[in-house]
Amino acid sequence: MATARTAASGRSDQGRGGNPPGERAQAPAGRRGTIDGLLATKEIVVACGPGGVGKTTTAAAAAVLAAVRHGSKVLVLTVDPAKRLADALGLDGIGNAEHRVPDEAFRAAGLKPRGQLWAAMLDTRESWDALIRRQAPDEQTRDEILANPLYQNISGRFVQSHDYIAMERLYEIHSESDYDLIVVDTPPTRNALDFLDAPERMADFFSSRLLRWLIVPYRSRLVNVATKPFYQVADRILGTEFLADISEFFVLFQSMYDGFVERSESVGRLLSDRRTTFIVISTLEAVPLREAEFFAEQLNARKLHLGAIVLNKVLPDYLRDSDGAAVAESMRERADDLADQMAPNLAALDPVLGDSDQIARVLTEVAGSFLNFQVVALREMEERSMLSVTPDVLATVPFFDTDIYDLAGLVRLGEQIWD
């Protein structure tokens, strides 16, 4: 971890505001090594990890708590919140725009925030359009690109476009607004690393030699010897007309080339800046945990700052209790005997409860259920002890037996991660 930090701070000389160059951002004394510390000192927290582990909810909880506890202006940028979570953040029907979660909403949840909470959703299509509008050299190019069927396809379907635009939007907001902290949820990707590579890949894409190959004949109708075989194959597979469509699209895009590459590089720099930290979220299920572990290793390898690992939905400690197991086994074995002895007392509460067969069934089920869950709880602990990466912060969040979908719930979850 030390290496990652040093490398990152070396690059932060161009950073605006914040700490002077060379000086490491640190949590205040007593707060080091907590997520609290990260939220108090970093400007960007990227929540990442495999799908289905509560990434969006965790990101929202961190942002809500940061707003409640610190006097800072916090933005949570979410990708695909559950409807009720979106409602709680007032995101329903808001689209791409950032908006403030009203203080009344906090008051209704019995909270008095010291700071401000803002929320925004990532709309891929809208963000792409905004990017084109910003980067296009003139109105005509802009309109032609926006109307191009290939562009519409790319912005809507091109899988990696989500990853790129999420990071691009983050950069945009970070450089142009005055949030103290931006917590960003990452889109579900095929590969958790896609969004890290997206800026670089986008730059590669636009600086590709092949791009020039495609554009040259369209412009000059001059096909040289080197590119001829490529066109022959491409023509046969795709058809000349489609190839011309592609060319046209790229000629238009070419006009934004410099801007795009520069932008992609800036986005990449922002991610490796020391003001940015990554929180990897997982559950203790084997498959997601392996993916999270791989992700954490990759962050280290890329010298990106792994701030914390958050383990969600962890079963409660009492399930691993060995005395509990002995008690459960005894309850199961002696269910009939126990039921007979307890029947009179239960019947005294209500005659309908005094059926000893029924009591025995309940005792058997209860004991069996404990032993079942113990298998899972022990497996989880084993998985945790085998974790190959050791982040500064390893937070465990217990399983909540109800869904979290309001500000109060998010605070409750946040407190678990926080302290």
Partner 1 sequence: MHALLDHRLVFVTGKGGVGKTTVASAFALFASLRGKRVLICEVDAKGDVADFYEAPATGFNEKEILPGLFAMTMDTEASLREYLKLQLRIPVVGRIGPLAKAFDFVATAAPGVREILTVGKLCYEVRERNYDLVVVDAPASGHIIGQLAAPQAINNLVKVGLIRSQTDWMLEILSDPSQTGLVAVCTPEEMPVNETIELAVRVREETTVEFSAVVVNRVLPELFGRQEEEVFDALTTVGPLAQLNGLVGGDTGPVLDAARLAVTMRRTRSTHLDHLRQSIDEAIPMLYLPYLFTRSHGLRTTRQVAASLGEELGY
**Of residues 373 and 418, the one with the C-beta less far from partner 1:** 373
Sites for partner 1 among residues 52-91 (CB under 8 A): 52-53, 82-84
Q: Contacting partner 1 (CB under 8 A), which of 38, 214, 306, 309? A: 214
Q: Contacting partner 1 (CB under 8 A), which of 367, 395, 407, 417? A: 367
* DSSP per residue, 312-368: EEEPPGGGG-HHHHHHHHHHHHTHHHHHHHHHHHHHHH-GGG--HHHHHHHHHHHHH
Q: Is 207 in the site for partner 1 (CB under 8 A)?
A: no
Number of residues that bind partner 1 (CB under 8 A): 86
Compute CA 112 distance to the chain's CA centroid, rounded to the nearest angstrom: 27
**Of residues 15 and 409, the one with the C-beta less far from partner 1:** 409
Q: Which stretch binds partner 1 (CB under 8 A): 2-10, 44-52, 60-68, 127-135?
A: 44-52
**Of residues 94 and 362, the one with the C-beta less far from partner 1:** 362
Residue with tokens 């290496």: 3
Sites for partner 1 among residues 215-274 (CB under 8 A): 230, 233-242, 245-246, 249-250
Minimum CB distance to partner 1, residue 360 (Å): 10
Sites for partner 1 among residues 171-190 (CB under 8 A): 188, 190
DSSP 3-state helix, strand, coil percentages of the chain (rounded to 5)? 60, 10, 30
**Of residues 218 and 418, the one with the C-beta less far from partner 1:** 218
Q: Contacting partner 1 (CB under 8 A), which of 338, 393, 407, 410? A: 338
Neighbours of 407 (CB within 10 A): 26
Cα dist. 311→48, 50, 52, 55, 390 in Å? 12, 12, 12, 10, 13
Q: Contacting partner 1 (CB under 8 A), which of 6, 175, 177, 369? A: 369
Minimum CB distance to partner 1, residue 213 (Å): 8
Minimum CB distance to partner 1, residue 66 (Å): 23
Q: Which stretch binds partner 1 (CB under 8 A): 21-29, 107-115, 140-148, 286-294?
A: 286-294
Residue with tokens 């002995």: 326
**Of residues 72 and 148, the one with the C-beta less far from partner 1:** 148
Minimum CB distance to partner 1, residue 199 (Å): 15
Neighbours of 246 (CB within 10 A): 17
Please state at what angle helix 240-254 crosses helix 149-157, rounded to 10 degrees. Answer: 80
Q: Contacting partner 1 (CB under 8 A), which of 10, 28, 51, 102? A: 51
> Which residue type does 271 have?
L
Phi and psi torsions of 107, nearest 5°: -60, -40
Positive or negative, the CA dihedral 139, 140, 145, 146 is positive
- Separation CA 53–CA 290 (nearest Å): 13
Q: Contacting partner 1 (CB under 8 A), which of 111, 362, 387, 394? A: 362
Q: Contacting partner 1 (CB under 8 A), which of 6, 140, 175, 330? A: 330
Q: Is 297 in the site for partner 1 (CB under 8 A)?
A: no
Order of strands, edge to edge, in the sheet holding 306-314?
Answer: 99-100, 116-121, 73-78, 181-185, 44-48, 276-282, 306-314, 393-398
**Of residues 38 and 214, the one with the C-beta less far from partner 1:** 214
Sites for partner 1 among residues 152-171 (CB under 8 A): 153-154, 157-160
Q: Is 342 in the site for partner 1 (CB under 8 A)?
A: yes
- Separation CA 26–CA 150 (nearest Å): 47
Neighbours of 211 (CB within 10 A): 19
Residue with tokens 């509990």: 324
Under 8 Å CB-to-CB from 325, ≥6 apart: which residues?
370, 371, 374
Minimum CB distance to partner 1, residue 358 (Å): 6
Q: Is 341 in the site for partner 1 (CB under 8 A)?
A: yes
Minimum CB distance to partner 1, residue 265 (Å): 19
Q: Contacting partner 1 (CB under 8 A), which of 26, 140, 177, 372? A: 372
Q: Which stretch binds partner 1 (CB under 8 A): 29-37, 99-107, 145-153, 270-278?
A: 145-153
